[in-house]
A and B are shown apart, each in its own frame.
Chain A
Amino acid sequence: MPGPVAAPADKEDNFKPLPPTKPFQSTLRYPSSRKSIYDRNLNRTRVNESSLASFAYLFNTLITYHHSKSGSVSEIETRLNRAGYPIGTKLLDLLLYRQPPRTATRPTRILELLQFVHGTVWRALFNRTADALEQGTEKKNEYMIIDNEPLVNSFISIPKEISQLNCAAFVAGIIEGMCDATGLSTDGVTAHWAGEGDELWPGKTIFLLRFKESVVERDEALKAG
């Protein structure tokens, strides 16, 4: 027996090897059709769109729940943001997978990511592109994605006392999750009302993306080559 110290003889009798590990027994329960999520197709077609009515109902329930749990407008918005966040991280890979094979590319630059969100993501979620994409005038790391009429807000009316609340914070959470997943992390994505001035689009919403300084620095370094 190798080893620096031999075990005493009386200890030898007490030695019992560990029982062999049991073979893995699955406790998974399958549905009656014997199909798991791994048997589903990831490429959805147009006919498979989910109904707006059922989404509105679920979204309404979500808002009511978070409203009842939180004391301030900002807390409701944070909670809605957190609810959207995991959707963004998961949606990114799904959308990359749905791109034509061999041409799928990861967004590695800020502008590519913004165009991906503005185009591909918006089309997948709302069946149209977002209405505008702008860079903040004061700060270099701020970008705005503008939606004139967010789909998620279509059946929502905000009471006077919390008129600042914009429930598109949920969508902002999706964007934030997506940015973080790509490695272009942000200091937060928030949804804001564009203001009273716009009579044509009273529900106009601005999604403000504030990228981290380190991300902007890296982006400029990549641009320089």
Chain B
Amino acid sequence: MSYYFTIVGTRDNPLFELEFGTSKGGGDGVARFRDEARHYNQFIVHAALDMVEEVQWTNKDLYLKRVDTYQNNYIHCLLTGGNVKFMLLMNPDPATTPYSTYQTSPPSRAASARQSLLLASNPNSQQTEEAVRQFMMEVYENWIKCSMSPFYQVNQPVTSPIFRARVATAAKKYL
């Protein structure tokens, strides 16, 4: 499983980005996105912002669970009170995801059966939902600490290396 995490400000402006891979089940924590996926990820997450806006007035929770899927990408979102979106894109197998040509056929049954053996590599499972929730809440805590700094203004990119390290630690812990 490869992950792309980004924080999006109130004007749909990116504030923070991080790519990482799973650390569960012997994973090395390195994202295996293909080169072309780098900018596709940004597109896909940007498109998912529309889905967030659709649910944001009807769902009062901070953690909105899975908001969108595109091909083999699953996007989870946490919406803070201050309208800042934490978007997490996960892709169980980026190597086989077709980006350039549209393809509707689902991944072969053998591949999905193999993936679901690993707890954290099945994006549809309850455990994944829960792990993402815990990850999001830990980032949320650090986000508040960051935003409480009197030198931080709304919609300013987050550059703190400590914040980055904290997010990476949370990713390692839960995902």
Contact = CB atoms under 8 A, between A and B. Distances in A.
Contacts, number: 74
Interface in B117-175: 137, 140-149, 153-154, 160-163, 166
A94 to B, nearest CB: 6
A89 B82 contact: yes
A86 B153 contact: yes
A92 B162 contact: no
A177 B146 CA distance: 18
B106 interface: no
A88 to B, nearest CB: 10
B81 A181 contact: yes
A106 interface: yes
B82 A97 contact: no
Contact of A28 (B61, B82, B149, B162): B162
A182 B81 CA distance: 6
Instruction: Classify chain B's interface size.
Output: 20 to 34
A37 B161 contact: no
Contacts of B147: 90, 93
Interface of A: 24, 26, 28, 36-38, 40, 42, 86, 89-90, 92-97, 101, 104-108, 181-183, 218, 222
26 contacts: A28-B160, A28-B162, A37-B145, A37-B146, A37-B149, A38-B145, A38-B166, A40-B145, A89-B82, A89-B154, A93-B81, A93-B143, A93-B144, A93-B147, A94-B144, A96-B80, A96-B81, A104-B62, A105-B61, A106-B60, A106-B81, A108-B58, A108-B60, A181-B154, A183-B56, A222-B58
A-B pairs, top 3 by smallest CB distance, nearest first, are A105-B60, A181-B82, A92-B81
